[in-house]
Structure 1
């Protein structure tokens, strides 16, 4: 059987559109030859132009220079993959060293992670509200229905608390965030214009990251809610695509702590969530810092969703957009490839990634909010530490020089695939590393990838020694 070589650097995404050819009576693919004038080329986010698509040359540059390198979870989609794609598609004025470094900070990663969790359930709530709007038509609601809606609203407020807690670490300007604080240490003069531009750019990138993570659906709902969370409703611009909610729907979606005041004293809805925290919700502020010890099932559920990495969400049967999905089901732009999905043979019974199954809201039990007030919380024993992939100065500079690198490859730089790169290395007479260094580097990489296997072998050897000693004692 002939072995077919698969080039990992071949373009997967073809920019263009399909149209019906009436003369040939078939579908015809029309490529975007002039993407600068194509209508589908850009998308406006808070006044900034982000790329919506890319040509094949841009795709090859992105996959060769900016795609996340191979690691122990490189075959699944994680938050870093979405962030790198947005950094590649964002406008040129965003390419500042300070902003790129800010987006790679672990604190900012925590904010983005909490935003993805929140919008996963917020979009379900919006869908629920719109369906109920069509179903009611003036019908009288029962007390059980109002109790269920109140429970949904409290659950959504709890996810907002996670965002607010992480976002407050950014705006306090402590620790690693001190260099991004708007007040100068000596003069105490606020860099208002610079801080406003920095905040606008962060919001635009966050909208793009959440939108791509949510399968690129409900863009205007995400943009409207993101601006409301970080700005308040006074500063959300009017847009014809934005949906207006009734007072009852706003109370359900925005929660019990949302208050509209005069714009001079108005604070953001995120900070409002932290002003009146109920005693039963106080353990939420320690999620991800301390291991929760108590009998509140709701707190344990939020902790599990927050602590479990995005690449392992299938182990707990939770869906957070495209996080944890296999990369083979998506193209370079992280749009789902339905051809690959069909060949994966997913069904209603076997669908670990929630692609076929529709994400829904679980109906809460009656009186669950009153039951939570009687739950107990015990003293903590363990601290929770997150592991983040460290970034280097060279990686930041590479992103800052993004347009320079793209221009270099377009003007004659070599875009190589795996075969041509190996041929060039074999034909090269220069030897940069000794054989011992190459072997040691290989074993270092393999030990990192197979860390779980080595731990399993150590446990197996320990069990074998224990069993052998027991057999020796029995024979004596």
Structure 2
């Protein structure tokens, strides 16, 4: 009986293995007789740096015809033929590399919150480029002109306008971070925020959304100043310390700015904390101790009883219909302009000036020798002129308004088209 027990303890056979005594460790070890299971290697897509993601901008004529027939937004009866944000998103999705596309990204791009976010970012970057050029000119003029108190007033107005536009971007970005409103299902801890955090998945979604946003802003602003847009966008969302684009390009554009330029373009809400305590400039704008019109934090979402002409202007550009921009003689980059002035890829249709003969060009150059100054090329869209703040005190309602603005509808048809196209592209790559 004792022998049976000893055999059962030290050498007993089981259905899937047996026990053996290890002399080195002086312990029992269970040796399995089953074949080892093959461990499935889960391929996790690495986060590609922004600079390595290249969009195609040289679409040939055949692909343009295919795009116009299958994927371009079709006009509804009675609808004005103007460029919309959806048109710009369609071009970005059509020219994007397949490795950054996903159903989650396409669905995220077709949300009212994301639409307001992209519009606010286009407005902020467009005004930033405009003020950056203005400040560069003003700094050059200091060599021959004297700085007056009026300069401070004008530059303070530029600074406050940029700060308010950053607040408009930050409020939509905060909704995405907390998974509020229509972004609940995209939160990294699930709609109820009770799951384990999918930090790597969330980081990939953020990087692809940021790269797609840069491309959309660049297209909406007429395909100009890509590096400036990319650098400023990454600075806003990641701060100067974690600006990967600046670390790659090494432009040093902030250190080359004069103090007056930094005060206007960066604002006075910039904080230089330790890396662990660093917050993005967008978050700093929200928590900054400066007089902020509280209605900016709900513009386009909360229906306020009384708003100023400044807020009406910003609400139209951030959440209003693109058709109304023509009536108000304002545009958001090329958004709001007639689509007939642009080709399929939203490039401006060139005039017949390029068809001039060499003889006519030579004759013009002979007559223009006296005045050698070149005229600046006309801009595709009018400059951004933000109405000034009202001098009177902000109106405070007796109770906080609980009525919400009707969200601008997003094209479900285009969303399904891009999801179907992605499914076909993924199927073709696997075969």
Work out which of the residue numbers 92, 95, 101 in structure 2 matches 1:86.
92
How far off is 1:141 after superposition?
A: 1.7
How far off is 1:139 after superposition?
A: 5.2
Work out which of the residue numbers 93, 117, 121 in structure 1 matches 2:123.
117
* 1:212 partnered with 2:219: yes
Residues 85-141 of structure 1 deviation map (CA, whole Å, 9 limit, x = unaligned):
100111111232122111112211111111112122111111111111211138542
Give the corresponding residue for 1:443: none
How far off is 1:197 after superposition?
A: 1.4
Cα 1:362–1:175 shift into 2, 3 Å: closer
CA distance in 2, matches of 1:363, 1:292: 19
Q: Tell me, what secondary structure is at the counterpart of 1:387?
A: coil
Cα 1:66–1:258 shift into 2, 3 Å: same
Cα 1:327–1:188 shift into 2, 3 Å: same
CA distance in 2, matches of 1:170, 1:295: 26
* Structure 1: gaps spanning 5 or more residues: 1-43, 343-353, 408-476
- Structure-1-length-normalised TM-score: 0.66
Work out which of the residue numbers 364, 367, 376 in structure 1 matches 2:395.
376
- Structure-2-length-normalised TM-score: 0.72
Give the corresponding residue for 2:410: 389
Cα 1:314–1:294 shift into 2, 3 Å: same
Return the index of the structure with the highest Cα Rg. Answer: 2
Work out which of the residue numbers 61, 68, 81 in structure 1 matches 2:66.
61
Matches of residues 75-474 of structure 1 in structure 2 within 5 Å? 75-137=81-143, 140-183=146-189, 188-236=195-243, 237-238=246-247, 239-240=249-250, 243-244=253-254, 245-276=257-288, 278=290, 281-294=293-306, 296-339=308-351, 359=383, 371=391, 374-379=393-398, 380=401, 383-391=404-412, 394-401=416-423, 403=425
Q: Tell me, what secondary structure is at the counterpart of 2:54?
A: strand
Whether the 8 Å CA contact 2:175–2:181 is kept in 1: the answer is no
Whether the 8 Å CA contact 1:296–1:376 is kept in 2: the answer is no
Whether the 8 Å CA contact 1:329–1:341 is kept in 2: the answer is no
How far off is 1:75 after superposition?
A: 1.7
Whether the 8 Å CA contact 2:117–2:169 is kept in 1: the answer is yes
Whether the 8 Å CA contact 1:292–1:300 is kept in 2: the answer is no
CA distance in 2, matches of 1:273, 1:361: 22
Matches of residues 19-34 of structure 1 in structure 2 within 5 Å? none
CA distance in 2, matches of 1:330, 1:280: 39
How far off is 1:286 after superposition?
A: 2.3
Whether the 8 Å CA contact 1:148–1:363 is kept in 2: the answer is no
Q: Tell me, what secondary structure is at the counterpart of 1:264?
A: helix
Whether the 8 Å CA contact 1:224–1:242 is kept in 2: the answer is no
CA distance in 1, matches of 2:115, 2:380: 29
Q: CA RMSD in A?
A: 3.0
How far off is 1:359 after superposition?
A: 2.0
